[in-house]
């Protein structure tokens, strides 16, 4: 059966810690699915553990990212490799609730191009994490929802479902960090496409070390934050912008090492 949802998981030396999260995804996702674990290098410590899981469940496979190191490139590569009409991005650290993958995918089936798992709408919650990161993310999400009308109170959360045709139409320009979530939300808003949200409870990672550096990634987030407030654009205009960015001299790729 052809997959209805592609689950994209960027990883970086997660080791054995990825197994528990994969097992939860395989247990909780009921839609026909493929699970792409995207790694930057063949020697990534996550790979052998994913291969062991894949031996018992063919929905899982590893994918070597060739776009350049970093989470943004891994997510771009994973979405481009997706065979399903819906791609859901989730992290390997267990912060996201895999039971919500089906619900997010069904929202895209109904016509939205971005379905967000929201920590900041009624019923949502964020447990743990750095205080400054929590405050900045909440402020950005609420102001974008109130003033830019982006359709979600949590534009910065990476746990989202996307219409893969929409993503391929408007392109992904992000090359660093995890700002793809806010980029595609902003592009959906600027083109008048539908964005929806469901409440989620986000739990700070219990295993391993986070590679998120707020200071380093903040300028990229601010770029897409302000982009969301612009005039209405056609998808053709966005595609032209993406093509221009794609053919320009590439910036130095992000590294999580």
Question: Tens-of-pLDDT digits for all 257 residues of the chain?
Answer: 799 999 999 999 999 999 999 999 999 999 999 999 999 999 999 999 999 999 999 999 999 999 999 999 999 999 999 999 999 999 999 999 999 999 999 999 999 999 999 999 999 999 987 788 888 999 999 999 999 999 999 999 999 999 999 999 999 999 888 899 999 999 999 999 999 999 999 998 655 555 555 556 788 899 999 999 999 999 888 888 888 877 774 544 444 43
Enter the tokens of residue 179.
């700002």
- Euclidean distance between CA atoms 74 and 101, whole angstroms: 19
Over the range 32-58, which residues count as b (16 or more CB within 10 Å of their CB) and which as e?
ebbbbbbbbeeebbbbebbeebbeeee
The SS3 assignment for 173 reads: coil
Identify the structural domains of the chain with CATH numbers, from first to last.
Answer: 5-207+221-247 (3.90.550.10)
Rounded Cα distance between 253 and 257, Å, is: 12
């Amino acid at each position: 059966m052809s997959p209805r949802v592609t689950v994209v998981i960027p990883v970086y030396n997660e080791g054995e810690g990825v197994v528990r999260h994969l097992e939860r995804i395989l247990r909780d996702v009921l839609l026909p699915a493929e699970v792409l674990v995207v790694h930057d290098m063949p020697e990534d410590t996550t790979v052998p553990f994913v291969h062991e899981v894949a031996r018992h469940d063919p929905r899982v496979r590893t994918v070597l990212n060739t776009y350049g190191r970093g989470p943004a490139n891994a997510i771009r590569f994973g979405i481009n490799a997706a065979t399903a009409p819906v791609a859901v991005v989730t992290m390997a650290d267990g912060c996201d609730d895999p039971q919500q993958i089906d619900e997010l995918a069904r929202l895209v089936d109904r016509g939205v191009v971005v379905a967000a798992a929201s920590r900041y709408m009624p019923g949502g919650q964020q447990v743990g994490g750095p205080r400054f990161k929590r405050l900045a993310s909440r402020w950005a999400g609420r102001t974008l929802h109130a003033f830019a009308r982006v359709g979600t109170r949590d534009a910065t959360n990476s746990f989202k479902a996307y219409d893969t045709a929409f993503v391929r139409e408007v392109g992904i320009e992000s090359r660093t960090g995890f700002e793809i979530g806010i980029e595609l939300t902003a592009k959906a808003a600027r083109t008048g496409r539908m964005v929806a949200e469901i409440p989620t409870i986000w739990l700070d990672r219990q295993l391993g070390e986070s590679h998120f550096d707020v200071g380093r990634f903040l300028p990229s987030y601010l770029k897409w934050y302000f982009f969301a407030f612009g005039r209405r654009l056609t998808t053709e205009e966005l595609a032209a912008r993406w093509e221009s960015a794609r053919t320009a001299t590439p910036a130095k790729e992000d590294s999580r090492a």
